[in-house]
Amino acid sequence: MLSRRLLRTKVVKAVYAHLQTESDNIPATTKSLTASIDKAYDLYFHILSLLPEIVRYAEARQQIALNKMLPTYEDLNPNRKFVENRAIAKIENCQAINNYCADKHLKWTEYPDLIKNIYTELIEQDFFKQYMESGTSSFREDAQLASDILLNILEQNELLESVLEEQSILWSDDLGYILTMAARTVSSMRESHEQIKLLPKFKSDEDLEFAKKLLSESIIHFAENRDVIDGYTNNWDIERSALMDNVILAVAIAEAQSFASIPVKVTLNEYIDIAKYYSTPASSVFINGVLDKIISKGIEDGKIFKTGKGLL
């Protein structure tokens, strides 16, 4: 399922875009946020469907070698362990994945160079060579290879990132999160299970409402929260107080003020980590220092309160 971290990140980016366009249309921004969240879930199915494409390419190469004018012994007796990978075959035959991809028009057929690129990189990896030469065969071993491809090959593949950006700008920065989701799905697969246990879009029905409310509260109270931020940044280098830093701080303050059930520590940690990826190198230290003081003062003044024990 899509994590709260991903939802927070998408809210931060939506608020940033909203401010950049100087728009006052919150419903339109909310619609864009929802579309971005939906597209992230589309990517989950799209990435799962990429694994069978790699296997089909490998099998096609073996067939070409078999049809050579003068095939070698290896050509005539290929190691078919990968092309017969049972975990990936289960994904290929999963009607839920196939139907979802067909409905959303998600396909890889127009990107043969990408499939070739991934396969070429894959066969050079030590984990792949060990898999092919292990002398054993099990569904768990097949599933582990599929997981390794997701986390060790696809996450670092620049051509894949370029293709995804070409397919949808809304997939920008989603790949790492989605590969983790796909790997969790593969790891949970069992040969005896007829169906793959696919992850739902959200862990809770409240998650989408959380994102929408966080977005609206962040935009509505941005100006006043920016004034609060300014009062705590006089001793910081102005270059560190970039717009993205201010957006991250404003969204974090909005969350601390608007969600009484979310612990302060969770809010602090989430936005400090988001700053590491989406702002300047010094931003996480800056945001940590400023946000901790703002939230502490908010609690002291009664502007931030939490229900339940241990939430402060």
pLDDT tens, 229-281? 988 887 655 444 578 899 999 999 999 999 999 999 999 999 999 998 888 77
Same domain, 60 and 169: yes
Same domain, 40 and 182: yes
Q: How many domains does the chain have?
A: 2
CATH code for position 230? 1.10.940.10
pLDDT tens, 170-208? 998 899 999 999 999 999 999 999 999 999 999 998 999
Give the structural domain span for 31.
25-187
**How far from chain centre, in Å, is Cα 133?**
32
- Read out DSSP for 71-94? --HHHHS---TTTT-HHHHHHHT-
> Of 187, 209, 244, at which residue does a domain stop?
187
199 domain-assigned: no
Query: Cα separation of 52 and 92, whole Å?
Result: 6
| Spatial CB neighbours of 13, under 8 Å, sequence gap ≥ 6 | 36, 278
65 domain-assigned: yes
Where b means 16+ CB within 10 Å and e means fewer, 78-102 reads beebbbebbbbebbbebeebeebbe
158 domain-assigned: yes
pTM: 0.91
| Spatial CB neighbours of 184, under 8 Å, sequence gap ≥ 6 | 199
Same domain, 36 and 106: yes
Same domain, 175 and 274: no
Same domain, 63 and 174: yes
pLDDT tens, 93-149? 999 999 999 999 999 999 999 999 999 999 999 999 999 999 999 999 999 999 999
Same domain, 128 and 236: no
Kindly tell me the burial class for residue 286, based on how many C-beta atoms sit within 10 Å of its own C-beta (0-12, 13-18, 19 or more). buried
Same domain, 77 and 131: yes
258 domain-assigned: yes
Same domain, 225 and 183: no
Same domain, 75 and 164: yes
